[in-house]
Structure 1
Amino acid sequence: MLVSDQVTIRAIVGTDPQLSVTSKGVSVLKFRVATHERKRDQESGQWVDGPTNWYSISAFRGLAENTMESLVQGDHVMIFGKLQIREFERADGTKGNSADIEAYSIGHDLRFGTSSFTRVRTDMAEADRKVHQGGSTEADASWPKGTDQAA
């Protein structure tokens, strides 16, 4: 069974991002993130961590390359993308579920620090934008005249 939803999560990068390139030249980035809820314990009045959820994150093309240059293990991030809950069975017969997110957008969570943005102007950025917009759309008309739409 495969379930898919769009989600936004706030998480901590749990593994070093790993970048690879497919035989067709597509950049693919994979890493894992952890989320947990902090809440006040009613009896002690202290803040405690709730259970940890782990997600496998994948990003493609320009997003993969930019994320590789921007994130390290331990960074606090915001991720928007497509969540898929996947059932699996290992060779030893162990069954389980995996929570995978195909990222559409990734950024630092500025609640925990500052960030500096550097715009990347490439043909790949334009290709990424069109992929997520389903090709040329009305959004092309919304770009201000004289600006680089590939950003």
Structure 2
Amino acid sequence: MAVRVELEGRLGSEPSVREVNGRDFVELSVAVSQGYWSKAEDKWVDQGTIWYRVHPTSRRAGEEARLLHKGDAVVVAGTQSVEEFTRRDGTSGYAIKVNADAIYVSRIPKKADA
């Protein structure tokens, strides 16, 4: 059973496009900030960032992904999976992957410069 997710975040790099057997594959790196609004402290409490590898699976999502640039705010909808990988130093790591059937430009406000 697949886990259906919807993410709202920002592109951490330019879309990666590579050709394999005459077919283009697009990959996006999307950062999603975590946190909550603390009424007691009257401020946003940052809980870090989760990075997702996003692979468009529909033609439309792939076309939308090619128009995006680093820093763009996006909404991604699709199915999530976790992949284990080996780092260069030999340790194991995990990547969260989303096979996206929809990618939209979002209107997340940019953080004010501090």
> TM-score, normalized by length of structure 1?
0.61
Q: Output aligned runs, 1:1-150, within 5 Å.
A: 4-23=2-21, 25-41=22-38, 44-60=41-57, 62=59, 63-69=61-67, 71-110=68-107, 112=109
Please identify the structure whose Cα radius of gyration is greater.
1
1:46 CA drift (Å):
2.4
CA contact (8 A) 1:13 1:34 kept: yes
**CA–CA distance in structure 2, aligned partners of residues 4 and 87 of structure 1:** 17
Superimposed CA distance per residue, residues 105-139 of structure 1 (whole angstroms, 9 cap, x where no aligned partner): 100124549xxxxxxxxxxxxxxxxxxxxxxxxxx
CA distance in 1, matches of 2:16, 2:86: 24
- Aligned-residue offset at 1:38: 3.8
Cα RMSD for the two superposed structures: 2.4
- What 5-or-longer segments of structure 2 have no aligned partner? none
- Greater strand share, 1 or 2? 2
Alpha-carbon distance, 1:41 to partner: 4.1
Q: Which runs of 5+ in 1 are unaligned?
A: 114-151
Give, in angstroms, the shift of residue 61 of structure 1.
Answer: 6.2
- Number of residue pairs aligned between Structure 1 and Structure 2: 109
Give the structure-2-normalised TM-score: 0.78
Residue 89 of structure 1 deviates from its aligned partner by: 2.2
| 3-state SS of 2:64 partner | helix
Q: Hey, which of these two has a bigger chunk of helix by percent?
A: 1
